[in-house]
A and B are shown apart, each in its own frame.
Chain A
Amino acid sequence: MGPGGPQVEAIKRIVILGGGTGGTIAANRLHRAFGAGDAEIIVVDQDDDHVYQPGLLFVPFGHADPGRLVRSRRRQLHAGIGFRQAGIDHVNLAADRVRLDDGTELGYDVLVIATGARLLPEETEGLTGPGWMKNVFTFYTLAGATALRSALDRFDGGRLVVNVIDMPIKCPVAPLEFCFLADRYFLRRRIRSRVELSYVTPLDGAFTRPVCSRELSGLLAGRGIELITQFNTGTVRDGALVSYDDRQVPFDLAVVVPVHGGAAYVDRSAGLGDELGFIPVDRQTLQAKAKPNIFAIGDATDAPTSKAGSVAHFEGEALVGRIRAYLADQPLTAAFDGHTNCFIETGGGKALLIDFNYDTEPLTGHYPASVGLPLLRESRLNHLGKLAFGQLYWHSLLPGRDLPGIGAAMPRRGKKGLPART
C-alpha cells in the first residue's frame, strides 16, 4: 500500500465500461491513486479504436485526415490496467456482475459507466432512408464525416441545412461551428453567393443563455446564415426536413445531428438507466442513483451540463476521490461543480472560448484567470488553443494529468459579472 493509499483489506476490482475519453481518464487516474496492490482495474470496450471526436468537425472541410484521428484504446491505458475487447450484454446490478457478449462475466466491487452516448438515426423517420449518405449526412461519425467531405467537394450551390434533431447531443456547439466553417469554406471556393446556409434548431435560439445571447447573437446573421428555431424534426423526406407541427425546411444537402441515447446495454440492465439510456447520477458525486457501488463519467451520465470532453476531464478528480472514499468507507467529500469549457471555431483562424458550471452561465472575461484566453470573444489565440488541444488530449488529458494552471473547478477570477459569493 503506497503512502496515502486507501485502507483496504483485499484487492478490489474496479470495472470500467467504455475505453473512450471518460473511461481512459478514469482508468489512468484510478491506477495512479490505488497502485497495483490495492485495486485491479479492467476496462471493457467493444473495439480498439479511440477516436478523437473533436477532430471530426474538421474532416468534411479537408482540415483533418480521418486516419490520424484514431489510435488504439489499449495503448492509452497505463501498464497494469487490463483491457477486455468485448461487447456488453448487460449489467446485473443485484449480483454486481457484468455479462459480456461472449457469455463471460466480470464481477466488480466498483463499476464505472463510461460508455458515452450513441447516435440513433433510425429513431427519426426517413433519416436513414434513400437520402442517407447521399444528400443527408452526419459528421458525428468517422464514416459520415468522410463521406460528407466528398459530398461537399461536389456541392456546387444550393441550400445547405444544418439541423440538430433534438437534445441532448454531444458537443452542442459543433453544429454551429459547422455553419461557421461552411461559410468560410464556400467563400474560399468562391461560390458562397450560390449557397444558402441555414441552422435549424429545436431550441428557441442559437444562443439561449443571456450573456451569450448578448455577446454572440450577431454571429450568424453577420455571416448570412439563416436561423430557424423551435423546429423539432419528425421526418426527413426527399429534400426536406419536416417538423412535428408540419413546418418544412427544404434542402439540397442536409447535415444532421441525430438523436442521442445511452449505450444499448443500459436498456437491458434493469434499474440502471433513464428513459434515454443515460445513467441518473448525483450531479456532484457522480454516484449512480441505482446503487452506491456504481459511478458514471462523461457523456453516459444524466448530469445537467453539456456532453463534452472537458466535462469528463474535470469530473475525473472528483470521481477518483469518491471511489477512494467509497472503497475505504470514509466520508465522501470530493465534489464536481459541473465545470465545462469548449472552444467554438468561428472560421478564418479564430475561435471563441466558453467556460461555465452548474450554477454559472458562460461569462465574459478571461480563462483561467485575468491573464489567459479571452472568453466569449473571437480571437486567434483561442483558435491556437483549440489546435494545441489536439496534442494535449493524447499526452496530458487521457493519461489523467491535470493541465498546468487549470483546476477541476470553474475558476471565478478573470470573469466579469460574476455575482458576489454570499
Chain B
Amino acid sequence: MPDVSYDGQTVSVNDEGFFTDPSQWTEDMVPQIAKAEGIDHLTDRHWQVIRFMRQEYQAKGTGPSVRALAKTSGVPVKELYQLFPKGPAKLAAKIAGIPKPRGCI
C-alpha cells in the first residue's frame, strides 16, 4: 500500500488514492489532495460538500450517493458536478479522506 504525504504527514492510500485510514485525514490536507485531483481553488461550496461527506461517513460508515449528497448538503446535483467534475460522490469522497462509494458485491 503506497504512502503519500499531505501537509507534511504520511498517510496510507490504496492504489486509487483513497485513504485506507480515514482517521489520518485532517482538513489541512484538503487543498493538497484537491490540487492533485485538478481542483486548484476551493470555494466555500467545496468545503460545505467535503465537510458533509465526512459527517455522513462518521454517522453512517459510508459516504453518501450523489442524490443524498444533493438533498442534505444543500448543493444541487448540477452544481456538485461543476464543483467536482467527473463524479462528485467519488471525487469528493477522495478529497474528504473517506472510502469511495461501493455496493454490496
Contacts and interface: CB of A to CB of B under 8 A. Distances in A.
Interface of A: 123, 166-168, 172-173, 202-204, 207-209, 212, 216, 230, 232, 234, 244-245, 259, 275-276, 280, 283, 302, 304-306, 340, 342, 344, 354, 356, 358, 362
Contacts of B78: 244
Interface string B43-82: 0000000000000000111100111100110000110110
B60 A167 contact: no
13 contacts: A123-B67, A168-B65, A202-B89, A208-B105, A209-B102, A209-B104, A212-B105, A230-B87, A245-B87, A275-B72, A276-B71, A302-B60, A354-B105
A172 B65 contact: no
Nearest to B86: A245
Nearest to A209: B105
The SS class assigned to the A binding surface is loop
B89 A356 contact: no
Contacts of A203: 101-103
A218 to B, nearest CB: 14
Q: Please indicate which of the listed interface residues A173, A232, A306 has the most CB atoms of chain B within 10 Å of its own CB.
A: A232
A244 B66 contact: yes
Contacts of A207: 103, 105
Interface of B: 59-62, 65-68, 71-72, 77-78, 80-81, 85-87, 89-90, 100-105
Contacts of A358: 61
Nearest to B105: A212
Given A232-B66, A244-B66, A276-B71, A362 B85 contact: no
Nearest to A303: B60
B105 A173 contact: yes
Contacts of B66: 166, 202, 232, 244
Contacts of B61: 283, 304, 358
Contact of A204 (B72, B80, B90): B90
Contacts of A340: 104
Contact of A304 (B60, B86, B90, B100): B60
A199 to B, nearest CB: 12
A138 B78 CA distance: 25
Given A232-B66, A232-B87, A244 B77 contact: yes
B71 A172 contact: no
A353 B97 CA distance: 32
B87 A166 contact: no
Given A230-B87, A244-B81, A275-B72, A166 B104 contact: no
Contact of B67 (A166, A173, A304, A344): A166
Nearest to B77: A244
Given A230-B90, A244-B66, A276-B68, 20 more contacts: A166-B65, A167-B65, A168-B65, A173-B104, A202-B89, A203-B101, A203-B103, A204-B100, A209-B105, A212-B105, A230-B86, A232-B89, A245-B86, A283-B61, A306-B104, A344-B105, A354-B104, A354-B105, A358-B61, A362-B104
A291 B102 CA distance: 30
Contacts of B90: 204, 230
Given A166-B66, A168-B65, A244-B81, A362 B105 contact: yes
B16 to A, nearest CB: 9
Contacts of B59: 280
Contacts of A212: 105
Nearest to A276: B68
A302 B62 CA distance: 11
A203 B61 CA distance: 17
A356 B90 CA distance: 24
